[in-house]
Amino acid sequence: VTKSRENFVYQEPDEQVIQSLSIDNVIFGIGDGVLKVLLVRQEDPRHAGSWALPGGWLRRAEDLRDAAYRILKELTGLSDFYLQQLKTFGKVERFPGERVVTVAYYALVNAEAYTLVLGNSARDAAWHDVNHVPDLVYDHNEILSVAIERLRRDARDEPIGFELLPARFTLAELQSVYEAIFDAKLDKSNFRRRIIKLGFLEECMEKQHAVPHRAARYYQVDKKAYHALKRRGFGAISFV
Amino acid sequence: VTKSRENFVYQEPDEQVIQSLSIDNVIFGIGDGVLKVLLVRQEDPRHAGSWALPGGWLRRAEDLRDAAYRILKELTGLSDFYLQQLKTFGKVERFPGERVVTVAYYALVNAEAYTLVLGNSARDAAWHDVNHVPDLVYDHNEILSVAIERLRRDARDEPIGFELLPARFTLAELQSVYEAIFDAKLDKSNFRRRIIKLGFLEECMEKQHAVPHRAARYYQVDKKAYHALKRRGFGAISFV
């Protein structure tokens, strides 16, 4: 096996992993009102200091999706997040020195993850604004572009934005998540009418406190109603 | 390499292909007003007579998408079709005896392909109504289900249905394609208004001839207008 395998964050004994097949995770979060992606610093001396999507290898005894889940969990410490397969990237020249096809996944993690990840100085990982991402290794900029496009499409088809928030959130917070995803300002009353009409948001008894403006109501997702609606189909939501 | 590799239609010398990684194609067409899928007869003695999605191996010197294209072209003789990556399937137990992850693609081919394929008796390939598909080998029924769901989602987001028709078609033919995709009857005037409003259908001079009813106008796709619209986004079309 060549040196280039050591690029990846997670080392595995070669005989236990599938050769020529890697996994890369595009992990999205929201911070400062913008969409962010979690990147790790590359350890390959040829790419010293470069940023990359966090990735790893598929173990022989592990389902593909389980591998993507494990890699994300090991990096963030989180075990509850939205995870979807994105696309498999397999150009001959995408990886230097050997043929590696990579299966990309994308994940949405809520804001509480920030402190977990950024507080862990043992790994050099950081959130980057998706509008100001540096040159990444290999084809990782292309993978990220495909992920952003897919996230926007998915968010138009089903209201997945709340996956980026804590369990309880205000409608203003939810709106700011969609504004970050679509990189656009949304009309407040239209947004509220449409999201409430879907019928899976539950008002909490508690309101915000110690805020300088009128305290807003907290909401949470009624998961039963959400999944029932998901089975019937949301229709096109068209927030933007 | 084990016996099970011989299941696939296209044989390759082992050193020229990526181990543990296959490609499977879900090829859709329309026939008798219903959505059909092209299946091939399995040659593996353990599965003698069983049907399977047509598949093959990824060559070391070939991009992933090129491999899917080649496999489809070799089977149908066609070189112009709609081809999209579907999903990668990688459960540990999906393939007997060895670990094989498969990248599935889905394709739409137009009706002229039928005679080409069915006339080629050298290979045992046949179109099957998607509502009456037999038990397929491995996880191919699951792959087909995911492909049908994806085709319907894609057809709601962009008008890809004409890929299943010859270059010139009547609006009634186009409507019957969407009815086959969605497995539902559509309202004729709504359908016509919405599809024409998109602005990429061009009236041909020629009309149908030798038909027992009033001759209908032929249309064709203005590809420049279609691709310009595609870049801007179709919005949700909602034929159904």
ipTM score here? 0.86
Q: Give the nearest partner residue to B60 out of A62, A63, A99, using CB atoms.
A: A99
Q: Give the nearest partner residue to B21 out of A89, A101, A236, using CB atoms.
A: A101
| Interface mutation target, options A1, A16, A22, A64, chain B, most CBs of B under 10 Å | A64
- Judged against a pLDDT cut of 90, whether residue B234 lies above it is answered with no
Q: Determine the average pLDDT of the residues in A165-170.
A: 90
Q: Which of A127-141, A197-211, B17-31 has the lowest mean pLDDT?
A: A197-211
Q: Give the nearest partner residue to B20 out of A18, A65, A90, using CB atoms.
A: A18
Distances (CA, A) of A189 to A60, A175, A176, A193, A215: 51, 10, 13, 6, 18
A88:B65 CB<8 A: no
Q: Work out the minimum CA distance from B68 to partner chain A, whole angstroms.
A: 11
Q: Which of A27-31, A106-110, A231-235, B200-204 has the lowest mean pLDDT?
A: A231-235
Q: Give the pLDDT confidence of B12-37 residue by residue, as tens digits.
A: 666 789 989 999 999 999 888 899 99
Q: Give the pLDDT confidence of B85-131 residue by residue, as tens digits.
A: 999 999 999 998 889 999 999 999 875 655 555 444 335 888 899 99
Q: Give the pLDDT confidence of A82-126 residue by residue, as tens digits.
A: 999 999 999 999 998 889 999 999 999 875 655 555 444 335 888
A61:B92 CB<8 A: yes
Report chain A residues whose CB lies below 8 A from the CB of B157. 153
Task: Establish if B46 touches chain A: CB-CB under 8 angstroms.
Answer: no
B163 phi/psi in degrees, rounded to 5: -65, -20
B153:A156 CB<8 A: no
Percent above pLDDT 70 for chain B = 84
| Distance, CA of A129 to CA of A70 (rounded, Å) | 24
Q: Where are the alpha helices (DSSP H) in chain A?
A: 64-76, 113-118, 140-157, 171-182, 188-197, 223-232
Q: Give the pLDDT confidence of B177-200 residue by residue, as tens digits.
A: 999 999 999 999 999 998 998 899
pLDDT at A121: 39
pLDDT at A124: 80
> Which chain B residue's Cα is nearest to A85?
B87
